[in-house]
Amino acid sequence: MKQLQSIKWEDGKLTIIDQLLLPLETNYIQITSVEEGWDTIHKMQVRGAPAIAIVGCLSLAVELSKKEYQDKEELFGTICTKLDYLVTARPTAVNMKNAVVELKKYVLKLHTDSKVSTQDMVTRTCGWCERFLENDIDNNKKLSDFGAKSVLAAADGVDKVCLLTHCNTGSLATAGYGTALGVVRSLHSAGKLEHIYCTETRPYNQGSRLTTYEIMCEIMPGTLVCDSTVAALMAHKKIHAVLVGADRVAANGDTANKIGTYQLAVVAKHFSVPFYVCAPTTSIDFTLPAGCHIPIEERPNDEMTCVAGKRLACPGISCWNPAFDVTPADLITGGVVTEVGVFKPSELIQKLNTNDTF
Ligand code: MRU
């Protein structure tokens, strides 16, 4: 099965597919510094919560391995400053912030260990970033298999399921395979997918530009629908589950994801369709008790008023363009699918939180 590779890491060289050009052009661009990493994330040449964190960390690895540092003090200071900078590229997805917390803990240990030289510290920090990439693919596969089993169990003995997804959560949004789209992929390879419907995902069109591209690459039976078609779709077709990703899951299970996710969950509840959030544990923020504390990124007006550079809306109109919304935990009726199992939103803190965070 052909799988897209949005992030390539070969011999210390980092390249990514420029997602702004998809699906018409598949062009890889090289990232040679943290500045460039920040820029590609901010401009959304790479997007999707896990992919943002992976590219951020690997851009640090690229930069560290090119420079020379006088001593560990200088190296430690540089790493911390660069990591804090990377977190500012996009505010809602928590994966970069979580990676920064973990990587800083790791680097602090190296810094205080007198047996570790400056060069060792560079090599081991870069190694951490490489493992972060590898773990993501591994976790996506585990998550996808858990999700596939849960969806089939909830579909009550049907042979094949019809699913609906939103935004892009596949290979392009991760190191590979995907989260919500990974579950779809897993069902497809088991011969259990009847049909996948994906929304356009206005205004940035991740669904029409990216998810359709992934569906076509893998030759899955799929159909694109407008965001506003979702209620009609559920009224006319049997949809067995809605699967979405997450940019940040708060400790109580409230979930920030692409704008429009909340209304999908409301409609799914109306039709008693199980609604799943598929997210690796790196997308959970146990420092926030509830979704109302999640910072929501607002994007420029022209992403709403123009399509492919062509203006549609009347000049002068004001716009409100939040990139994400927060779905309350009680609407996540199917559960939160992670690499360690499927949980009710209310179980997350008790089953997965190992730190005393608030
Ligand atoms: O603005 P984007 O394209 O970065 O938003 C992406 C999403 O909302 C995804 O659903 C989420 O990051 C999960 S990707 C596995």
DSSP codes, 218-283: TT--EEEE-GGGHHHHHHHS---EEEE--SEEETTS-EEEETTHHHHHHHHHHTT--EEEE--GGG
- Whether 249 is in the pocket of ligand 1, judged by its Cβ within 6 Å, is no
47 Cα–ligand 1 center, Å: 6
Task: Tell the CATH topology of 7-136.
Answer: Four Helix Bundle (Hemerythrin (Met), subunit A) (1.20.120)
What does the pLDDT average to over 36-45? 98
pLDDT band for position 1 (cuts 50, 70, 90): very low
Helix, strand or coil, per DSSP, at residue 30: strand
What does the pLDDT average to over 4-13? 93
- Mean pLDDT for the chain overall: 96
pLDDT of 129-175, one tens digit each?
999 999 999 999 999 999 999 999 999 889 999 999 999 999 999 99
pTM of the complete model beyond 0.90: yes
- Whether 206 is in the pocket of ligand 1, judged by its Cβ within 6 Å, is yes
What is the pLDDT, as a whole number, of residue 356? 53
Distance CA 41, CA 49 (A): 10
Comparing 53-57, 151-155, 346-350, the range with the smallest average pLDDT is 346-350
> Which residues are CB-neighbours of 307 under 8 A, at least 6 positions away?
205
Q: Which CATH architecture has domain 144-352?
A: 3-Layer(aba) Sandwich (3.40)
Parts of the chain belonging to CATH 1.20.120.420? 7-136
- Whether 49 is in the pocket of ligand 1, judged by its Cβ within 6 Å, is yes
What does the pLDDT average to over 108-115? 97
Residue 327: φ, ψ to 5°: -90, 125
Parts of the chain belonging to CATH 3.40.50.10470? 144-352
- Whether 260 is in the pocket of ligand 1, judged by its Cβ within 6 Å, is no
Distance CA 156, CA 153 (A): 6
pLDDT band for position 11 (cuts 50, 70, 90): very high
* CA–centroid distance for 347 within its chain: 22
So which residues are the catalytic ones? 247
pLDDT of 176-218, one tens digit each?
999 999 999 999 999 999 999 999 999 999 999 999 999 999 9
- Whether 118 is in the pocket of ligand 1, judged by its Cβ within 6 Å, is no
257 Cα–ligand 1 center, Å: 6
What is the pLDDT, as a whole number, of residue 353? 84
Atom of ligand 1 at shortest range from CA of 244: 10
What is the pLDDT, as a whole number, of residue 358? 47
pLDDT of 73-105, one tens digit each?
999 999 999 999 999 999 999 999 999 999 999
244 Cα–ligand 1 center, Å: 9
Reading the block at residue 200, the tokens are: 């356009």
Question: Smallest Cα–Cα separation from 243: which of 273, 281, 285, 280?
Answer: 273
52 Cα–ligand 1 center, Å: 9
What does the pLDDT average to over 294-301? 97
What is the pLDDT, as a whole number, of residue 355? 66
Beta-strand (E) ranges in the chain?
7-10, 13-17, 28-31, 161-165, 193-199, 222-225, 241-244, 248-250, 255-258, 275-278, 284-285, 306-307, 310-311, 324-327, 335-338, 341-343
What is the pLDDT, as a whole number, of residue 162? 98
Atom of ligand 1 at shortest range from CA of 179: 15
Residue 174 DSSP code: S
What is the pLDDT, as a whole number, of residue 258? 98
What is the pLDDT, as a whole number, of residue 3? 61
What does the pLDDT average to over 253-275? 98
Distance CA 338, CA 143 (A): 5
Check whether 234 has a pLDDT greater than 70.
yes
